[in-house]
Amino acid sequence: MRFGWGTMVSEIMIIGLLFALTWVLVFILANSIVQKNADDLQDLDERLAMVVKELIENLMQMSGDIEQPNPVQLMIAEFIRSKIESPIKDVAVITARDSKGRITP
C-alpha cells in the first residue's frame, strides 16, 4: 500500500469538513437552547407579573380592615424621627482636674 500526497490531502479535507460540520451543529443546538430559555424566561416573567398584580389587588381590598394609628403613637413616632434626624450636639463638658485626679473648682 502506498499513500501519496493526494490521499493525505483528501483525508485532511474530510477531517476539516467533519470539524466544520460539528461546529455548525453545535451552533444550531446552542442557538435553539438559548431561544428556548428566552421563551421560558418570558413565560416566567409574565406569570410572576400576574401573581404580583393579584397580590397587590388583594392587599388593596384588605386595606379597609386596617385600624388607623393612635394619635399618641403618631406623636411619639414624630418625636423619635425628629431626634434621629437632628444633628448630634456635644454635651460632654471637660472639667479641669488636679494632679491627683480631683475636679478643681
Is 23 among the domain residues? yes
pLDDT of residue 67: 75
103, β-bridge pairs:
97
Please enumerate in sequence order all residues whose Cβ is within 8 A of that of 103, keeping only pairs 6 or more positions apart, or say none.
95, 96, 97
Distance between CA atoms of residues 101 and 8, nearest Å: 101
pLDDT of residue 99: 82
Q: How confident is the model at residue 90 (pLDDT cuts 50, 70, 90)?
A: low
Residue 54 has pLDDT above 60, yes or no: yes
Q: Which residue would you say has higher pLDDT here, 60 or 40? A: 40
Please give the tally of structural domains in the chain: 1
Is 27 among the domain residues? yes
Is 102 among the domain residues? no
pLDDT of residue 65: 65
**Structural domain range at position 15:** 5-67
pTM over 0.75: no
